[in-house]
Amino acid sequence: MKLLIINISKLLHVEDQRREYKRGQELGDFPITENAWLMIENGRIHSWGNMEFGVPALKIKTIDAEGGMVLPTWVDSHTHLVYAGTREDEFSKRLHGKSYEEIANEGGGILNSAKKLNAASEEELYEAAANRLDELIRMGTGAIEIKSGYGLTTEGEMKMLRVARKLADNFPIPIKTTFLGAHAFPAEYKDNHEGYVKKIINEMLPAVAKEGLADYVDVFCEKGYFSVGEMEEIIVAAKEYGLKSKLHLNQFNALGAIERAVALEALSVDHLEIIEAPQMEREAYLSPPLEPPLWDVNRNERYDEAEMLGNSNTVCTLLPGCSLFLEIPYAPARRLIENNAIVALATDYNPGSSPSGNMNLVVSLASIKMKMTTEEGISAATLNGAAAIELSHELGSIEKGKLANLIITKPLNSPSFLAYNFGHNHFKHVLINGEVYE
Ligand code: NIG
Ligand code: FE
C-alpha cells in the first residue's frame, strides 16, 4: 500500500538526524523541505523530495496538500483520559471565589472523581474515554499516554488501566499506560499515609504488574499529597517490576523532589510550574509573582532545579493548559531551555485541573504564555513528547521508517501561524498509519 502527498508548502522534519530527543537550543531548529512531496508505504514514511526535482511518476493514491504544511502528529505524553463524570460544578465554585485547594479539602477534586469512577462500570468508562480519544485524534494527536489515579482502590485502579489497554487494542494509535495509585490519599487513609503507601507497594503494584496493565508508575508529590520520601519508596518499589517513573512534581510547591527524581532516573517530571532557582533569578521567571514566596528562602543560593534537569536525561513535561485553567504560574520554559533541558509539552487532560485535550491550544499557550517559539513548541509536542513515553524511535519526526502519523494543514505559509492564530482548526487531514483518520 502506497500513498503520495504532493504540493506540501513546507515539510517539517522536526529532527535532522536520528535522535531520541532534542534538548536546549536544538528544539528551535529543524530542517524544512519547501514545495515537497512525501511517499508513504505500508503505513510508514518511505521518502520525500522537492517537487521541482520531480515527483515519483507512479499511478498510486495521491493526496494534494494544496499548499498545506505536513508535520508529525502530536504526542500527548501526559493525560488522565479515563475518568467518570465531569467537574464543572467545582469550576463554578472557583468562579465564585473558592480555590482548587479549598475544594479538594472539602472532598472535591481527585476524591470527587474517585467516587464517580468507582461507581462507574468498565463499559461506561470505555465508552466515554473512546469518544474523547476519537475527538483528540481528529485534533492531531497521534499517540497518547493515559494514567490511572481516580480509582485509589486496587479494583478501581485496575479498572482504569484495563480501559486504557482496551483503548490501545481498539484504536490505531500507540497508547502507553501509567499506574498512578499515588494520586491522593483516600478518605479512609487520611490519617494513615503509611498504610496507603504500603497498600500501593504490597497490593496494587503487584496486581497491576501481574496483569501487565502499566508501562510506567507515577506519584503526585505535593504538599497534602505524597511526600518526597513516599515518592522515592514507590519509585524504588516499581523499579522491581521494571516500571520507570513519570512524576507529577512542583505543581504548587518546590519540595526538593526534582533532585531525587533525577537521581532515581525518572523518565519524565511533569508540571514544574514552581521550580527553585538561585534566589536572584526567581522573580524573573515567576509570573505573576506568588505571594507569599513558596520556596525556602534560607536555602543554598546555588540550588538550581533547572540546572539539575538540564544536566539529566529526564524529560521535563510542561502542561500550560493546567496553568491556564487553574490560574497558576506557567512553568519556566525559557529557563529550562537555557539550561539545556529536554522540554516536552502535553495536555494533562483531566476533569479537574485541565479539562481540555487540545494539543493545538497547548502549543499556542507555550508560545503566548511561556515564550517558546513555534518551532520549539512543535519539537516539544512531537519528538520530545514521544521521548517522554519511549516512542521516539517510531514517532515524532519525519524520518524514513517511522509511522506515518502525520498532520496535513490547510494552506499555511509559516509554522508560526499555528501558534499565532490560536483556537482555530488549521488541519485538513490527520493521517494515522498512512491513512486518513475518519
Ligand atoms: O495533573 N496534579 C495532580 N493531578 C491532576 C489533577 C487531578 C484532578 O484535579 O482531578 C493534574 O493536574
Ligand atoms: Fe496530571
Instruction: Please write the tens of the pLDDT for every residue from 121-140.
Output: 999 999 999 999 999 999 99
pTM above the 0.85 mark? yes
pLDDT at 73 over 90: yes
C-alpha to C-alpha distances, 44 to 31, 54, 372, nearest whole angstrom: 20, 21, 30
pLDDT at 115 over 70: yes
C-alpha–C-alpha distance, residues 85 and 130, integer Å: 14
For residues 39 and 421, is the Cβ–Cβ distance under 8 A?
no
150 lines ligand 1 (CB under 6 A): no
Among candidate residues 200, 210, 130, 131, the one with its CA nearest the CA of residue 164: 130
178 lines ligand 1 (CB under 6 A): no
First to last CA, the chain: 18
How far, rounded to the nearest angstrom, does the alpha carbon of residue 184 sit from its chain's CA centroid?
A: 20
Beta-strand (E) ranges in 97-222? 141-147, 175-182, 216-219
Among candidate residues 394, 359, 392, the one with its CA nearest the CA of residue 377: 359
Q: Which atom of ligand 1 is nearest to 222's Cα? A: 2
C-alpha cell at 331: 512553568
C-alpha–C-alpha distance, residues 249 and 272, integer Å: 6
Q: 209 CA distance to ligand 1 centroid (A)?
A: 24
Residue 289 pLDDT level (bands cut at 50, 70, 90): very low
Task: Report the 10 Å Cβ neighbour count for 143.
Answer: 26
Q: Are strands 74-76 and 141-147 parallel, antiparallel or unpaired?
A: parallel
Task: Report the 10 Å Cβ neighbour count for 284.
Answer: 12
pLDDT at 287 over 70: no
Tell me the HSE value of 223 on the side-chain side, using a 13 A CA sphere: 10
**In the block, which residue shows the cell 483503548?**
167
Q: 248 CA distance to ligand 2 centroid (A)?
A: 6
Return the SS3 of 381: helix
Portions of the chain given CATH number 2.30.40.10: 2-72+397-436
Task: Give residue 291's pLDDT.
Answer: 47
353 lines ligand 1 (CB under 6 A): yes
Portions of the chain given CATH number 3.20.20.140: 75-387
Amino acid at 232: E
Element housing 408 (H / E): strand 406-411
Say which DSSP state 223 is in. T
75-387 belongs to which homologous superfamily? Metal-dependent hydrolases (3.20.20.140)
- Dmax (CA) for the chain in angstroms is 71
| Probe target for ligand 1 pocket from 106, 183, 317, with the most ligand atoms within 8 Å of CB | 183
Name the residue with the closest Cα to ligand 1, atom 1: 348
C-alpha–C-alpha distance, residues 225 and 232, integer Å: 14
Task: Tell me the per-residue pLDDT of 27-48, one tens digit each, with 9 for 90 and over.
Answer: 999 999 999 999 999 999 999 9
Q: 326 CA distance to ligand 2 centroid (A)?
A: 13
Return the SS3 of 311: coil
Amino acid at 185: F
Return the SS3 of 316: strand
Residue 59 pLDDT level (bands cut at 50, 70, 90): confident
Element housing 304 (H / E): none
Ligand sitting nearest the alpha carbon of 328: 1
Residue 16 pLDDT level (bands cut at 50, 70, 90): confident
DSSP per-residue codes, 320-334? HHHHHHHT-PPP-HH
| Probe target for ligand 1 pocket from 80, 185, 325, with the most ligand atoms within 8 Å of CB | 80
For residues 304 and 312, is the Cβ–Cβ distance under 8 A?
no
| Probe target for ligand 1 pocket from 94, 221, 350, 356, with the most ligand atoms within 8 Å of CB | 350
For residues 159 and 146, is the Cβ–Cβ distance under 8 A?
no
DSSP per-residue codes, 45-79? EEEEEEGGG------SEEEE-TTEEEEEPEEE--B
317 lines ligand 1 (CB under 6 A): no
Highest CATH level, class, for 2-72+397-436: mainly beta
Q: 14 CA distance to ligand 1 centroid (A)?
A: 30
